[in-house]
Amino acid sequence: KEGCSRGECGACTVLIDNVPRYACLTLAVEAEDVEIVTPEGLMEGEKLGAVQQAFLEHDAFQCGYCTPGHVMAVEGLLRAKPQPSMDEIRAGVSGNLCRCGAYTHIFEAAKRAAALKGGMP
């Protein structure tokens, strides 16, 4: 999902070799021979992935515009750090803007996603 086309909003965040990256700033040549995961790639058939489920449970979206980017940023964070602190969660999503200001819900969803993935109690 493209947002700003300038690497400012994070709505287009995808995982490239498990690292969150802005798709709008990624050249096609950089996508050769790497694994790219989009929000759809987190699902198991029709079942939501852990991060997506946590966002649903914690109402971590309002207009939904930023949600795919936040989901991918949290997924990338949890792949690198299964038990992140709140400061690490804040830093992990700091490149993603939410115009509606749902940050508190996003942070709670990130904690819940860690628990769903087995990283936190």
H helix or E strand, kind and range, residue 55: helix 50-57
The mean-pLDDT minimum among 19-23, 96-100, 107-111 falls in 96-100
Per-residue pLDDT tens for 37-90? 999 999 999 999 999 999 999 999 889 999 999 999 999 999 999 999 999 999
Please answer whether residues 81 and 63 qualify as being in contact, where contact means their C-beta atoms are separated by less than 8 angstroms.
no
Rounded Cα distance, 78 and 3, in Å: 24
Q: Which of the four pLDDT bands, split at 50, 70 and 90, describes residue 2?
A: confident
Instruction: Quote the pTM value.
Output: 0.93
Share the mean pLDDT of the chain: 94
DSSP state at residue 19? E
Residue type, 87: D
Q: Which of the four pLDDT bands, split at 50, 70 and 90, describes residue 121?
A: low
